[in-house]
Structure 1
Amino acid sequence: MRDRFNRVIYVGKARDLRKRVSSYFLPSKMAQADLKTRAMLDATWDFETHTVRSEAESVLLEGKLIKEYRPRYNVSFRDDKRFLLVGVDLSEEWPRFRLARFKKDDGSRYFGPYAHAGALRQTLNFMRKKFGLLTFGRGAPTERELKSSTYQVPVRLSEISAAEYRERVAQACEFLEGKSREMIAALEEQMQKAAEKMEFEKAAELRDMIEDLRDTTKPTRRFTRGSLPSTIDPIADVRELADALRLPHLPRIMECFDISNISATHVVASMVCFRDGVPDKDNYRRYRVRTVEGQDDFASMAEVVRRRYSRILLEARETNQDRAEFSQEETVEGLQRLEKQTLNAQLPTSNAQLEARKFPAPVRLPDLIIVDGGKGQLSAACGELQRLGLHELSIIGLAKEREEIYRPSRALSLRLPMDSGALRLLQRIRDEAHRFANAYHQLLMKKRVEESILDDCPGVSQHRKNLLLRRFGSVNRLRKASVEEIAATEGIGRKLAEEVHRFLQRH
C-alpha cells in the first residue's frame, strides 16, 4: 500500500489478493477495525502487487520489502534479524554444516535463505542422521566424535576416511540444491508402511518430516534490489521521462544526489546511478562533506557535485593528455568524444589483448542529473556545473513534499500525474539515493558510538576495552571505580589497572 506521496506504508501477502484487500473495506470490518487499521486505510492511495511462485517466496519477499522500506504500519520483520542460511566451508578437511544469518565472503558455500526456520532445523537433523554429517562447532572432529556415535554424529567417523566423509558432504550439498526426490519417495514409502501397520504416530512424524524437507529443498528465488517480480517496464519509463522533460535524447544514464544531515556530527551524501532504468550499483558513490560547517544542504550539494564532476574531468584529462590543452571544444562535446575513443580502444586487436582485457574505464557523463530538493539545491548544483564548463548537461531537482520537478531557467515547477511511469522512475531513483545516504550515515554513527576515550589509553587493546565496558557499562562508571575494582576485571592486571585509573582521572 502507498500513500498519496507514493511512500510505502504497508506490505502484506495473501493467497487470494482480491479477498484480502476487499475485506478491509467491508462495513462490518471497518466498524470493528482498530485505530491503526483505520488510519492506514485513510492514508492508502494506491496498491502495488508482486506475484510469486510459492508461500516461501512470499515470506522472503515480504520480509525483504519491509526491511527495505520500513512501512509505518508494519510490525513484523522491522528488526535487523535476517532469514537463516546454511553454510559449509569445503576447504576444511572435515566440513561442517552451520546455520548463519549473513553470507560472508569467506570462501564458504551458502544455501538459502530459508523462510521456515523450524523446517530448516528438522532438515539438518535429517541430514545429520542420513549422511552422518557434522553440523555444529568448528574444525576437525573431536576425539569423542571420532570414536563414538552420538546425537551429533550418529556414525563413528573413525571408521571412514576424510575423503569418504567429503563424498557424503557433496551428496548433502546436492540434497540442499533440490535433488531430494528419491529420498522423499523412500520416506513416503516408510510412511505408508507405518500407516498400514497402524503405527499412526510414526506415520505422522514421517509426514511432518516430508513436509519440512519439501519446504527446505524446494527451489526459491532470491530477491535483491532491482530484481523484484514486477510489471514495471524500466525502458518504457525512461522513454516517458524523456518525453515529459523534453530531453534531446533518452536519459539512459542518470545520476541522483542526496544529502543526509540527520546530525551535524556527520554530514554525508550519496550518488546513485541508474542505467536504462535500473540500478547500476558498481557506479554508486558516497561522500563525507568536508568544507561545510553545520547543516547547510545547499553548500553540501554544491561540494558533492563539484567533487563528482571535477573528478570526471580530471580522469578525462589523464586519459587524453596530448589534446586536452589545445582542444577548442565545449567540455561536454570533448568528453563525449573521449568516451567514443575509449570505447573504441576497448575493442581487442589481438589475442593477447583479448586475454588481458586491461582497458581503461570509459569516461562517461550522465544523460540526466537529479538532485533531491527544490530550487535551492538545484541552483547550487547548476552553479558548480557552470564553473566546470558542464552547463549543457540536463539537470532537474525533485522536491519530495509535492513531488514537484524544478528545471533550470524555468520559473514554474512541473508536476507529473502520480500514476505516471516517469514520476515512478524518478521516485525510485530518489528513494534509492536516500537509502544509500542514510545507510552510510548510520555506518559512521555506529563507528562513532564504538569509539571511546579508552582508545587513547596506553596498553588498552580493543579486547581489553570491551572487557572493561562490559563489566562497568560506561566510561563514567569506570572513572569512578577504584584500582582494585578495575584490577578485578578478567584480563586486567594490577599495573594496567593503575594506568587506566590515572589516565581517566586526567581526562
Structure 2
Amino acid sequence: MKDRLGSIIYVGKARDLRKRLSSYFMASRKTRSDLKTRALIDSIHDFEFHIVRNEQESLLLEGKLIKDYRPRYNISFRDDKRFLLVKIRMEDAWPRFSTTRMKKDDGSRYFGPFPHSGALRETISWLNRSFGLRVCRPAIPNESTYRHCNADIIRNCSAPCIGRIDRDAYLAKIDDACRVLEGKGKRELFDTLRTDMAKAAENLDFEKAANLRDILQNLEKTLSPTRQFARGRGVPTTVKPLEDLADLGEKLGLPAPPRVMECFDISNVSSNHIVASMVRFTEGAPDNQNYRRYRIRTVEGQDDFASMAEVIRRRYSRILMENAAANPDAEFSQENPVEAQRRLAREGRAKIVLPDLVIVDGGKGQLGMAVRELRTLGLHDLPVIGLAKQREEVFVPGESDPILIPHDQGALKLLQRIRDEAHRFANGYNALLYRRRMKESLLDDAPGMSPRRKSLLLEKFGSVERVKKATAKEIGALPGISEKFATALLEWFEENSTPRGRNST
C-alpha cells in the first residue's frame, strides 16, 4: 500500500487479495477500527501487488520487503531478525548441521532460508537421527566426548568420536542428508513415510503413526519449493536500478547516469546525541560496506544546517586527504579537483572514489551548507542536490524553483530509496547511542565514584540493583574499595532511591 507520494506505508499478504483489500474500505471497518488502522486507511492512495507460488514464498517476500522499505504501519519483521538458514562446514573433521540467520562467506554450505523455524528444527533433528549424524558441539569429538553422550546408546548417532564409522562413510551420510534438504528425492521420501504411517495405523501403533505424521508435515513445510528473495535478485518488483539511474541522470541534466551516489541525513532526537549518516549506492543498489556514520562534534544544540555542513566537510576532506596520501607523486597542476579525482579513479589509484552525485536530506538550507563546504574544498563541480521530504522536491544549486519529478517515475523512486536508507541508518545509530546512554547507571552520580570502581562493582554484581542489595562488607571486599566507601555508597543509594527523571537501572 502506498500513500499519495508513492511511499510504501504497508506490506501485507493474502490468498484472496480482493477480499483482503475490500475489507479495509467497508464503512463498519473504518468506524470500528483502532486509530492506527483508520490512519492507514486514510493514507492509502495506490496499490502494488506481486504474485508468488505458495505461502512460504509469501512469508519470505513479505519479510524482505518490510525490512527493505520499513513501512510505517507494519510491526512484524521490522527488526533485523532474519529467517533461519541451515549451515554445514564440510571442511570440518566431522561436519554437523547448525542453524543461523546470517549467511557468511566462510566456505560453509548453506540451505534456505526457511520460513517455518519450528518445522525446520524438527526436520534437522529427524535428519540427524535418521542418518546417524553427530549433534555434539566439540570441533573434534573424542572418547572423552563419548563418555558424556548417550546418542550412540539410543542409536541416534554413528559415533565417529570413537571410530565406529570412518570419515568417508560419514561424509556419505552427510551428502544424503544434504540431498534431502535440497529437495532431491522428496517425492519418494514422502511416499515412504506415508506408507509407513499407514502400516503403523493398521497395526494399531498409533503413537508411531502420529510421530510419522508429524515428521511428514514438518518435511512438507520445510521442503516446500521457495525462491530465495535475496537483495538484488529473484524479487518480483518494479524496481529497475539501471533504468532508474538513467532516468535520474536525464532529469538532473547530468552528463551520465550517477553510477555512485552518496546521501547524507541528520538525526537529532535530542541535543545529547546528534548524529549523521552517509549511505552509498553503486549502480542503483546499496553498497553497505561503504556506509559511514558520524557523531556531530562542533555543533551545540539542534542545528541541522550546521550539522550538515560538518559532515559534508569531514567526508570530502577525508577523501581528498586519503587520495593525496595514496598518491604523493601525483601532479595535479591546474587540473580541476573533481576531474583530478575522477582521473585517479580511472587509473585505479583512488583510495576512495568520489561520488557522481551527492544528495542531502533537506531543502534549500541544507543544500546551501553542503554547497558552501564543497566549494571551500575546491569541489565546485561535484553535482549535489537536496531532497525535501514534505513534497519530495529536488533542489539544485543556483535555482530557486525545485525540480518536480512525478511520483511514478523511477528517478524519484531511486532518490526516495537512498534517502530512506540514509534516514534508517542515521536513526539506527541514534538509537544505539541512546541505548548506551540508558545503560550508564546511577553509579555515575555517586560521590567518590571512579570509572575503576564502577567497573569493579558492575563486574562483581552485574547490575545496580544487585549492588544496592549487597552488604557493605561484600562491597568493601573488592580491591580498591573500602568498607567505609561501601557504607557511604549504600547510604547514598537510600537517599537517592527514586531520583526524578532518571532510570536507576
TM-score of Structure 1 vs Structure 2, range by shorter chain? 0.7 to 0.9
> Which SS does the other structure have where 1:324 is aligned?
coil
Partner residue, 2:503: none
User: Which range moves more in the overlay, 379-388 or 4-13?
Assistant: 4-13
Partner residue, 1:335: 341
Partner residue, 1:406: 395
Partner residue, 1:354: none
Structure 1 distance, partners of 2:138, 2:89, is 10
Structure 2 distance, partners of 1:113, 1:362, is 36
Give 1:440's match in structure 2, choosing from 404, 429, 435: 429
Correspondence list, 1:59-458, <5 A: 59-78=59-78, 81-88=81-88, 93-101=93-101, 110-135=110-135, 140=141, 141-145=145-149, 149-150=153-154, 153=156, 158=162, 160-161=164-165, 163=167, 164-165=169-170, 167-181=172-186, 182-194=188-200, 203=209, 205-227=211-233, 228-324=235-331, 327-342=333-348, 360-361=349-350, 364-451=353-440, 456-458=450-452
Identity, in percent, stands at 51
1:352-391 per-residue CA deviation (whole Å, 9 max, x = no partner) reads xxxxxxxx45663222211001111101000011111211
Q: Displacement, 1:436?
A: 1.6
> Which SS does the other structure have where 2:293 is aligned?
strand
Q: Is the 8 A contact 1:457 1:503 kept in 2?
A: no
Q: Is the 8 A contact 1:149 1:155 kept in 2?
A: no
> Which SS does the other structure have where 1:267 is aligned?
strand
1:367-423 per-residue CA deviation (whole Å, 9 max, x = no partner) reads 221100111110100001111121112211111122121111111223222222211
Q: Displacement, 1:301?
A: 1.0
> Which SS does the other structure have where 2:2 is aligned?
coil
User: Structure 2 unaligned runs (5+)?
Assistant: 493-505
Q: Displacement, 1:246?
A: 2.4
TM-score normalised according to structure 2 size: 0.81
> Which SS does the other structure have where 1:258 is aligned?
strand
- Structure 1 pair 174–201 and aligned structure 2 pair: CA distance change class (3 A): same
Structure 2 distance, partners of 1:173, 1:37, is 45
Structure 1 distance, partners of 2:238, 2:299, is 43
Structure 2 distance, partners of 1:338, 1:7, is 38
Q: Is the 8 A contact 2:50 2:236 kept in 1?
A: yes
Q: Which amino acid aligns with 1:250?
A: P
Give 1:473's match in structure 2, choosing from 460, 465, 471: 465
Measured on the aligned residues, the alpha-carbon RMSD in Å equals 3.6
> Which SS does the other structure have where 1:57 is aligned?
helix
- Structure 1 pair 440–124 and aligned structure 2 pair: CA distance change class (3 A): same
1:57-88 per-residue CA deviation (whole Å, 9 max, x = no partner) reads 22123234334544443343456654334444
Structure 2 distance, partners of 1:201, 1:115, is 28
Partner residue, 2:502: none
In the comparison of the two structures, how many residue pairs are matched?
Answer: 477
1:151-175 per-residue CA deviation (whole Å, 9 max, x = no partner) reads 9x46666572463545534443443
Q: Displacement, 1:332?
A: 1.9
> Which SS does the other structure have where 1:273 is aligned?
strand
Structure 1 distance, partners of 2:391, 2:61, is 29
Partner residue, 1:10: 10
Structure 2 distance, partners of 1:104, 1:340, is 31
Q: Displacement, 1:134?
A: 3.6
Structure 2 distance, partners of 1:154, 1:420, is 59
Q: Which amino acid aligns with 1:502?
A: F
Structure 1 distance, partners of 2:245, 2:124, is 47
Give 1:502's match in structure 2, choosing from 481, 485, 493: 485
Partner residue, 1:42: 42
Structure 1 distance, partners of 2:460, 2:183, is 45
Q: Is the 8 A contact 1:483 1:498 kept in 2?
A: no
Q: Displacement, 1:448?
A: 3.9
Partner residue, 1:346: none
Structure 2 distance, partners of 1:277, 1:500, is 63
> Which SS does the other structure have where 1:411 is aligned?
coil
Partner residue, 1:20: 20
> Which SS does the other structure have where 2:345 is aligned?
helix
Structure 2 distance, partners of 1:363, 1:469, is 44
Structure 1 distance, partners of 2:242, 2:440, is 46
- Structure 1 pair 461–315 and aligned structure 2 pair: CA distance change class (3 A): closer
Q: Displacement, 1:258?
A: 1.0
- Structure 1 pair 431–504 and aligned structure 2 pair: CA distance change class (3 A): farther
Q: Is the 8 A contact 1:128 1:154 kept in 2?
A: yes
Q: Displacement, 1:295?
A: 2.1
Q: Which amino acid aligns with 2:295?
A: R
Q: Is the 8 A contact 1:369 1:394 kept in 2?
A: yes
> Which SS does the other structure have where 2:273 is aligned?
coil
